[in-house]
């Protein structure tokens, strides 16, 4: 029986050039950055972990993740890229603006990413020109995109990855409850993201139409969705119902959810995997405090194994931690702590998370 191994990375915010954080004020006179450079994030992180090396190779940020990825040899590697890749100076007045320099796209190539989903609340931080450049840079780097485009049809279109026995179609959308602005929605004549304005059956029907227009026999469909807040383990009834409708009515085989800064719960529904929140994988938040109870320093790489029907056969999860802007294998007690949290967050869905040895967890259902 043919099987397909995927790699799913939660939010990746890496190689950034300038981060700008604004005070939360509606007064334009007060709308000025209080943090003007990502170097200030470096300073905060060094206060916590010590000196961070400069002028490193592009693979530095992946650290111990790369040997794990090489060992698994996933068929398709997918990440949610939550930043613009641009030199545009068209800073949008939104609160937090992220960008990475196009020259740093080699950081993404170091992990041999196949697809970056872009339907999130930072891809248009530097305006439409920033989005256009992001799309161009990723295309030239050999990385496919989904969830944003030069018009609505392009934003709805999937990234298509050919595998040995078939294809993987990656669609992406994002909901305003994750911070995506309504004005960022792609239209027939405007670049933007695939905005899911609600979680209604009509939204599912629209997604189903896009899938049916592309799907062939033997294809596996992944739907990447940026939704919900940054902190907390609760899964809303609305999110759960929508994820299940994507499977039942749109023919989605795997729901790849993200936005939360830490891993959330998961579910196996009608033999299909739902990841409600994969957490961050790479960012420069190491020195930011205030949410230590969620252990956002612990990161997860997801390696679902699917059969030829898109049904879940197994899910391994590699636990890593971050320090000095690179990923490390964590201490056993940290792996155990995260296993307990993820198991507790998933228990109501009837699944369990168990240790498989070292820093690897596995899903049981």
Alpha-carbon separation of residue 256 from 15, 188, 229 (angstroms): 23, 26, 15
Residues facing 318 on adjacent strands: 301, 360
Question: What average pLDDT score do residues 280-287 get?
Answer: 90
pLDDT at 295: 96
Query: Is residue 309's pLDDT more than 80?
Result: yes
pLDDT computed for residue 198 by the predictor:
97
Distance in angstroms (rounded) separating the CA atoms of residues 163 and 78: 14
Task: Write the pLDDT tens digit of every residue in 226-269.
Answer: 999 999 999 999 999 999 999 999 999 999 999 999 999 999 99
Q: What residue ranges in 220-325 does DSSP mark as E strands?
A: 220-226, 254-258, 266-269, 272-275, 280-282, 298-307, 312-323
Q: Which of 1-10, 248-257, 314-323, 336-345 has the lowest mean pLDDT?
A: 1-10
pLDDT, tens digit, 9 for 90 and up, residues 91-109: 998 878 899 999 999 999 9
The percentage of the chain sitting over the pLDDT mark of 70, rounded to a whole number, equals 93
Confirm if 276 and 258 have CB atoms less than 8 A apart.
no
**pLDDT grade, residue 36 (50/70/90)?**
low
Q: Tokens representing 143? A: 């990385």
What CATH number does the domain located at 3-364 have?
3.60.21.10
Q: Residue 202: its pLDDT value, please?
A: 98
> pTM for the full model?
0.94
pLDDT in tens, 112-157: 999 999 999 999 999 999 999 999 999 999 999 999 999 999 999 9
Return the H-helix or E-strand segment holding 355.
strand 352-357
Q: Report d(CA 184, CA 121) in Å as an integer.
A: 9
Secondary structure of residue 316 in the 3-state scheme? strand
> Please, which pLDDT band fits residue 30 given cuts at 50, 70 and 90?
very low
pLDDT at 19 over 80: no
Domains of the chain, residue spans: 3-364
pLDDT greater than 50 at residue 315:
yes
How remote is the C-alpha of 263 from its chain's centroid? 11
* Main-chain phi, psi angles of 156, to 5 degrees: -80, -20
Where residue 22 falls among pLDDT bands split at 50, 70, 90?
very low
pLDDT of residue 40: 80
N-to-C CA span, the chain: 21
Task: Identify the band that residue 2 occupies on the pLDDT scale cut at 50, 70 and 90.
Answer: confident
* β-pairing verdict for 3-12 and 96-97: unpaired
Q: DSSP H helical segments within the chain, as ranges? A: 39-49, 65-72, 106-109, 127-140, 152-156, 201-214, 237-248, 332-346
Exposed/middle/buried for residue 282 (C-beta within 10 Å: 0-12, 13-18, 19+)? buried
Confidence label for 15 from pLDDT (cuts 50, 70 and 90): low
β-strand 144-146 against 115-117: which pairing, if any? parallel
The torsion of the CA quartet 293, 176, 145, 8, rounded to 10 degrees, works out to: 30
pLDDT in tens, 42-92: 888 888 889 988 889 999 999 999 999 999 999 999 999 999 999 999 999
Please report the pLDDT score of residue 26 as a whole number.
41
């Amino acid at each position: 029986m043919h099987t397909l191994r995927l790699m799913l990375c939660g939010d990746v915010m890496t190689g950034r050039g300038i981060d700008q954080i604004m005070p939360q004020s509606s007064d334009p006179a007060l709308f000025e950055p209080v943090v003007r450079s990502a170097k200030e994030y470096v300073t905060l992180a060094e206060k916590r972990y010590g000196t961070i090396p400069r002028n490193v190779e592009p693979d530095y940020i992946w650290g111990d993740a790369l040997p794990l990825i090489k060992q698994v040899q996933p068929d398709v590697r997918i990440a949610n890229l939550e930043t613009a890749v641009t030199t545009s100076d068209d800073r949008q007045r939104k609160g937090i603006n992220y960008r990475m320099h196009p020259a740093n796209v080699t950081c993404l190539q170091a992990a041999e990413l196949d697809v970056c989903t872009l339907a999130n609340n930072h891809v248009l931080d530097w305006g439409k020109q920033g989005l256009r450049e992001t799309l161009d840079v990723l295309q030239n780097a050999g990385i496919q995109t989904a969830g944003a485009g030069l018009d609505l049809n392009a934003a709805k279109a999937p990234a298509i990855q050919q595998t040995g026995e078939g294809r993987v179609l990656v669609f992406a959308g994002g909901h305003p409850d994750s911070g995506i602005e309504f004005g960022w929605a792609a239209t027939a004549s405007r670049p933007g993201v695939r905005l899911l304005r609600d979680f209604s059956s009509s939204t599912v029907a629209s997604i189903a139409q896009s899938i049916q227009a592309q799907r062939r026999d033997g294809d596996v469909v992944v739907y990447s969705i940026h939704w919900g807040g940054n902190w907390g383990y609760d899964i809303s009834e609305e999110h759960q119902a929508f994820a299940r409708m994507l499977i039942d009515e749109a023919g989605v085989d795997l729901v790849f959810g993200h936005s939360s800064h830490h891993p959330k719960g998961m579910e196996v529904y009608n033999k299909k995997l739902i990841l409600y929140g994969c957490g961050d994988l790479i960012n420069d938040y190491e020195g930011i405090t205030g949410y230590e109870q969620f252990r956002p320093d612990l990161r997860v790489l997801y390696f679902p194994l699917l059969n030829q029907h898109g049904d879940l056969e197994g899910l391994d999860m590699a636990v890593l931690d971050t320090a000095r802007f690179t990923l490390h294998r964590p201490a056993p007690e940290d792996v155990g702590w995260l296993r307990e949290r993820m198991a507790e967050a998933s228990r109501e869905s009837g699944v369990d998370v168990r240790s498989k040895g070292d820093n690897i967890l596995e899903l049981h259902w």
